[in-house]
Chain A
């Protein structure tokens, strides 16, 4: 029986930098790693299913509709002014 190790990274584009959250994130990762190690010892194999949610959405989770609304006009002009690269 062969096992394939698959590491999925779902870091947000903008990591949380509020005090404490980075450390907590690291701790939860450690906990997750320990849990995985534990289950690995029992079953001998880690099965990682493809995430049902596309990671691409999480990349932009910090962006709100309000920001898009605020920037839309300027972005439209920018695209028009740089038609060669759009």
Chain B
């Protein structure tokens, strides 16, 4: 009895999720608010290697966010690198080129000399190999 109820609830939930997913189609999951806030505040930045970095000393909370996201990124890079027959580092670096290009003014990114830069309206300083990305 209880089991049936659970099953029915799950089914309803799944149906609702599918309905939402239907029109949400292209709008994928959004950033966690804490992560979004840290990005805007310049507490985290996009590194050249395709991973997120802590800008400055960072708080334990910021460090946890960065670590968590980087674990997830690495999982995605690993999966896609295998599919494209590239190394994880190559795939991550390419993604880094794109992630740096996608930063918006005010956000931090790592310049080719390794320094943290604040994105302005001008194109970001990227590694020369990023030109193709």
Chain A residues with CB under 8 Å of chain B are 13-14, 54-57, 59-60, 62-72, 74-76, 78-86
If A60-B48, A69-B132, A86-B99 touch, whether A75 touches B94 (CB-CB below 8 Å) is yes
Q: Which of B93, B110, B128 is the most central at the interface, judged by chain A CB atoms within 10 Å of its CB?
A: B93
Decide if A68 touches B28 in the complex (CB within 8 Å): no
Q: Closest residue to B97 on the A side, CB-wise? A: A68
Q: Closest residue to A86 on the B side, CB-wise? A: B99
Q: Which of B69, B95, B112, B114 is the most central at the interface, judged by chain A CB atoms within 10 Å of its CB?
A: B95
Decide if A60 touches B95 in the complex (CB within 8 Å): no
The answer for the CA separation of A64 and B94 in the assembled complex, in Å, is 10
What are the residues of chain A within 8 A of B83 when measuring CB–CB?
74
If A63-B89, A74-B84, A85-B76 touch, whether A57 touches B98 (CB-CB below 8 Å) is no
The 7 A-B residue pairs whose C-beta atoms are closest, nearest first, are: A69-B132, A54-B114, A84-B29, A72-B133, A71-B94, A65-B129, A83-B28
- Residue pairs across A and B with CB atoms within 8 Å: the count is 103
What are the residues of chain B within 8 A of A74 when measuring CB–CB?
80, 83-84
Closest CB of chain A to B132's CB: distance in Å? 3
The answer for the CA separation of A43 and B80 in the assembled complex, in Å, is 53
14 sample A-B contacts, Cβ–Cβ < 8 Å, listed by A number: A14-B89, A56-B49, A56-B114, A57-B112, A63-B93, A68-B93, A68-B132, A71-B94, A72-B97, A78-B80, A79-B98, A79-B99, A82-B29, A86-B73
